[in-house]
Structure formats: structure tokens, C-alpha cells
Structure 1
């Protein structure tokens, strides 16, 4: 299989983008305070990765974006007292509550565009995403995301079996 054009590991709490609130003056603002720090974390990780690649230009052709978000488990998933630190038997294996996966992707794609990874988020022709809890399977050990970007044209060059 073709290697990704770019692979990033971003640490920080993923922040959803998309929901807006109005202040007393009627101005719109992001409802999640996590959006700005998350976008900065993604942008910084991308710029660090691209720092040594003088030939890199923002991808303007079709890409496949794969993102696995690792989220912290809520405290109520754990026992208390002598069971502190142990998952409750009924704790869900996957995060099914907020933040919404599509809103996490939106903030991440915008940060990739701001960093010069993507010419525009409209170049994403294929998207694979998931959200998992930290320390679950191949998830990160702390909140964040693993982001992989492939040029879809690279798959056209592979020999067919």
C-alpha cells in the first residue's frame, strides 16, 4: 500500500467546530472553547512536520484523509473508593456522546488548510474517521489525534493484482 503523503500525531483535547452561540450584543462565537487550542495544535504539528520539506505545496488534488481522535474517558466511567481507577462494567467501549465526529473533522480540516497541508478542505474526496477512548486498542495514551493524508492519485500508480 502507498505510504501517506503526511502523517501527524497531534496531542491536545480535540475541539469541535460548527456550533455557534450569540453574545448579548448578537455577535456569533464558537460554542466550544476547545476549538481554538485544537486548531493551533493541529496547525503546529503540521508546520513542524513540513518544516524540513522545502518542496511541499498544499495538496490541491483529491486526497484521502484518515483521522483517529483519542478522547479522555469521563470520570463517571470509573469506580470510586476501592474501585477508583477501574472501569465500571457498564462503561461504553466507544465514545458515543459529544463531541460530534463531524464537528471534530471540521476543525481539523480547517487547521490543515491553515497550515498549508490542504489547498482547501474541499480536496478531501475520501474520509475515514473514528473516535476512541485513550488507551483503547491502538489509541493514543493521551487525548489527541493521528492524522494521515494520502494523495489519491498515488493509488492510481500502484500495480493492480
Structure 2
């Protein structure tokens, strides 16, 4: 009789990476950029302050045509639309990253849910040439097309707050107080950036938010 050939050992498949309940990854088109950690046992927070320093706020929503690409499924030519503002990408990523850092300083609470108010101060990059008259400088604000519409600047920031784990979704924000200023205006940062204060207006109830618009504090 010939020698018995031992059976080849069965290959154990490599374990698939799983994301724990306390970690989420975010990124454009599903590509993770950084990990978002939170304590699932931590109580819901009613206030969170997010500081985004040393970055110039940018709008989101105005598109620019950058050629066409072919849809592999249909073969049709699809317009390639990109954000018109070149500052959008760096701002969105920086805002999300600093949201993660602000949450870490606050103890990594779960994303805020419920009825939320957002107070935002955008400090914009001032023009290179400034008036010498103090009175004219006082009334110089970032109100030109170069800075973008304030609602579009807010859109990119709210999306970054969601990506960074500050809020469940920016649809939870029902009231917004916002301003665009230069560094010499009251409440501004010394350099471009943003200061965001998120406040939950409704009581934290086990059955979820039950506050109506008529009951919101004035």
C-alpha cells in the first residue's frame, strides 16, 4: 500500500474588519478619513462647543462643470460637476476633523439628537488691502461674492458637524444664529475659522423629542 497523503489543512478565512458600536469611520464616497469614537453608555449631551481654527470657511452648493465622464452601465455621457469654491474641500475636511477633536475634549459624547439650536460665528480671511480709516474698517464685512452666500457656508459646516459626529443629522437643527465677520469684529477669532455652539432645546426624554415649535423658548 502507498503512503497516506495527509489532507491539506483548511484555510481559515481572515476575519473581516468590523466597526464597534463606539467607532464610526467617515469619508467622501465611503473612504474612511478618521475614526469617530463615542461612549455608548454616556448620557446625551445638551450642549457642545466646536472650535474650528486657522481655516478659511467656504461655501458648498455652487457647482462648476469639469467635463464629462462615461457611465459604465449605460454608456451615457454624464456631466462632471464639482464644487465651484476651491476652498470647499480643505474647509469641509478641517471642520469635520476639528469636530472630532472638540468632541474628544468633551468626553466623546454620542451625537446630539432632538431639537437643536446652532450659534455660529464665521471669521473670514480679510482682503489684502484694508482702508486706513477706522470707521470704514469698522463697517467692512465679508459681504462680497468672493466669500459666498452665508447659507452655503453654513451648509458645508453643518455637513462637517454631522461627519464629525457632533449631531445625528443636520436636519435636527431647527434654529440658527449666524454671522460672518472679520478678525477685528466683536466675537471673532484672531484668524479665520468658526466657533459653533450646539444647544439642545427640548428635554431629553426616553421616548424621544416631543417639543413642538410653539413650545420652543424665545
Is the TM value for this pair above 0.5?
Answer: yes
Unmatched 5+ stretches in structure 2: 1-44, 69-78, 205-210, 212-216
After the TM superposition, which residues 6-85 of structure 1 pair with which residues of structure 2 at under 5 Å, given as runs?
6-11=48-53, 12-25=55-68, 26-52=79-105, 53-54=107-108, 56-78=109-131
Seen in structure 2, the aligned counterparts of structure 1 residues 135 and 88 have a Cα distance that, compared at 3 Å, is closer
How high is the TM-score relative to the length of structure 2? 0.61
SS in 2 for 1:75: coil
1:131-158 Cα deviation digits (max 9, x unpaired): 01112222110000111000112599xx
Distance 1:87 1:58 in 2: 46
How high is the TM-score relative to the length of structure 1? 0.81
Structure number with the higher helix fraction is 1
Unmatched 5+ stretches in structure 1: 79-85
Alignment RMSD: 2.3
1:121 is aligned, of 156, 167, 170, to 170
2:141 is aligned, of 59, 81, 94, to 94
Bigger RCO of structures 1 and 2 (CA < 8 A, at least 6 apart): 1
- The number of residue pairs the alignment matches comes to 147
Distance 1:9 1:116 in 2: 14
Distance 1:49 1:70 in 2: 18
In terms of Rg, which structure is larger?
Answer: 2
Q: 1:4·1:148 contact (CA, 8 Å) conserved in 2? A: no
Distance 1:147 1:124 in 2: 12
